[in-house]
A = this chain, B = another copy of it.
Amino acid sequence: MNIAAETLAATHLRRRADHLSPAAVEALNAALAARFGNRLVTSEAVRVQHGHTLTWVANAPPDAVIFAENTQDVVDAVRICAEHDAPIIPFGAGTSLEGHVNALHGGVSIDMSRMDRLLAVHAEDLDCVVEPGLHRIALNEQLRDTGLFFPIDPGADASIGGMTATRASGTNAVRYGTMKDNVLSLVAVTADGSIVRTASRAKKSSAGYDLTRLFVGSEGTLGIITEITLRLHGIPEAISAGHCPFKDVRSACDAVIATIQSGLPVARIELLDAMQVKACNNYSKLSLPETPMLFVEFHGTSAGVAEQSQRFGDIAAEFGGGPFVWATRPEERSRLWQARHDVYWASFTLRPGARLFATDVCVPISRLADCVEATQRDIAETGLVAPIVGHVGDGNFHVSPLVDMDDPADVARAEAFSSRLVRRALAMDGTCTGEHGVGQKKIPYVEEEYPAATLDLMRRIKQAFDPANLLNPGKILRQ
């Protein structure tokens, strides 16, 4: 046995050409048309719409778009693509921030939006089965009568398939976990057209390798997810929410650490820096004090949330926070959290006409104040317009430089800032992406985050699952 040769063989993924040749695209599209009829679309407008459109990452459209209606459609699309050696990119809601849906090497975008059914609700088991194209808000609307809800809430109204593929989270993760914790099982179509079910509906299992968690966060590079079994949670009997200003980011972070250490089961605890508060005031017509603020929410019984709120108020006061304002009425609470969810759009009010540069570091919470403060100094020195919002209970925060895309110097400044931010987080034993995923642009940082031997194992997995590099090539790992 030659170990060195094995290692070497495993560390290189098959390189793909930049694009298929025109003749190859023509043959591919003819085969797809024969199977999918008018569910194959090749118009430029639709192709561009299926590339990246949200942040400043350049659009790279696929050669064709297929609208899948069931798992067999996906199997057949994968088989046809494999026969034509054409890349395959699954498309959910298109709300990815990192260029995940860009067709960097051409190929076919499989649009899952028509696979949007809630297939089953098992209320006694607190789970449900969905198709990947179902959006999170629509899911919760359909669940409402059951008394259950699905807690994961990225900023956008993303599809459940996309959220699964990027290991998404959001404001509720501090209490309810991320997609990794809320996907019980899934079905995926692999590169050879096989249909794989990863697990039963049992709440836990020790039966072999955890394929569920391997597909969660795999960004379409290991298989195309066609069905997801999700954990659900009881809609809390009572919710209390509030906001609390602090004199600086450090005291806000210290209050968060004390809250979590004390075991208070906070459901949401979000940090907005002064610039982000200003943007929210602009966009959502609020009149919050423009200083670092925590938005918090507690879930439980009436007596429970009253007690938790009281305790949190005491902790915040210990760290100089206050006055602490509670939104007791549901409308008031919704308005507050709607403002939090709208920070993406609110940020544009700070620099109209600019595009947003997404960042997403996550550090151990003990280092959060250090990381945010150093980043604020960096922003001031660089002269960026860059508000900060953070899922501070998890140590995850987003700085969103607003960039003039017509000014190469401005773009370069934002890119350099983003690199420094990631390296700062990595030096604090953090990660380059807490919830957005790797997509295209984070590949160099993933290479800095992990030791070579770890990257080697990731490449071995990709190679074992997709030796021809058909599935979303050019994402997560360098070819």
Chain A interface (Cβ within 8 Å of chain B)?
A: 1, 3, 6-7, 10, 82, 85, 122-127, 147, 166-169, 173, 177-178, 180-181, 190-211, 213-214, 216-218, 222, 233-237, 257, 260-263, 265, 300-301, 303-304, 307, 311, 360, 362-366, 394-396, 425-426, 429-438, 442, 445-446, 449-451, 453-454, 456-458, 460-465, 467-468, 476-477
Contacts and interface: CB of A to CB of B under 8 A. Distances in A.
Contacts of A124: 257, 261, 364-366
Of all A-B residue pairs in the complex, the 3 with the closest CB atoms, nearest first, are A234-B263, A213-B213, A194-B453
B202 A362 contact: yes
A432 B204 CA distance: 11
Contacts of A10: 464
A240 to B, nearest CB: 14
A457 B465 contact: yes
A429 B201 contact: yes
A125 B205 contact: no
A301 B309 CA distance: 13
A265 B265 contact: yes
Contacts of A477: 208
A461 B207 contact: no
A169 B363 contact: no
Contact of A467 (B6, B201, B217): B6
Given A166-B206, A208-B477, A210-B213, A430 B460 contact: no
Contacts of A468: 1
Nearest to A396: B204
Given A3-B82, A202-B395, A202-B431, 7 more contacts: A125-B366, A194-B453, A204-B435, A210-B210, A211-B454, A237-B263, A301-B307
9 contacts: A125-B365, A197-B450, A202-B431, A204-B396, A205-B433, A205-B434, A206-B435, A207-B446, A263-B300
Contacts of A449: 200, 207
Nearest to A85: B1
B199 A431 contact: yes
Contacts of A123: 261
A168 B3 CA distance: 32
A333 B234 CA distance: 29
Contacts of A451: 195-197
A122 B365 CA distance: 10
Contacts of A178: 204
A161 to B, nearest CB: 15
A438 B208 CA distance: 7
A303 B265 CA distance: 14
B262 A127 contact: no
A127 B464 contact: no
A94 B180 CA distance: 30
B432 A207 contact: yes
Nearest to A236: B263
Contact of A465 (B173, B207, B454, B460): B460
Given A261-B124, A446-B208, A465-B460, A198 B233 contact: no
Question: Among the interface residues A123, A126, A127, which one has the most CB atoms of the partner chain B within 10 A?
Answer: A126
A310 to B, nearest CB: 10
A356 to B, nearest CB: 18
Contacts of A462: 209
Given A180-B213, A234-B263, A468-B1, A458 B208 contact: yes
